[in-house]
Amino acid sequence: MARVKYRITTRQFNYWCSVCVGITVMLRDVLFPPPLAYYPIRLACSTLSVALLLLLTFFYARKEWKTYSKRNLWMICILDMLIAALYHLDITLEPANEYTAYLLTEIWIRPTITYGLVACFVSETKES
């Protein structure tokens, strides 16, 4: 019996990771935002989260992948790091408790994943 090898392409990997990032942005930052002590930080986080969702939709929701580039991934990563930095700022301005370390870890997981997308990006050659 022949073994069938199923391999995921780099485009599929980046696409599905981007979809997962979009889902986490939608859930954590838009639908169920964490209670932030400072209104300007909360407003900035909400605005940047919506901008990140728009970027993900613009870059990856199209059927044609002609705009798929490392520059697009960098834009997503930088925007996600700005959101995490604002959350980090709000948490450090509030009094620390037993959940502070957990929250800081949870906040920086998603930007780490988006940076991984940038670091693992491999430009594909045109198929003949």
Residue ranges of the domains in the chain?
A: 10-119
Amino acid letter, 49: S
**Alpha carbon distance 112, 40 (integer Å):** 25
pLDDT of res. 128: 38
Assessment of whether the complete model's pTM goes beyond 0.85: no
* Greatest alpha-carbon span in the chain: 63
Q: Which pLDDT tens digit goes with each residue over 75-110? A: 889 999 999 999 999 999 988 888 888 888 989 998
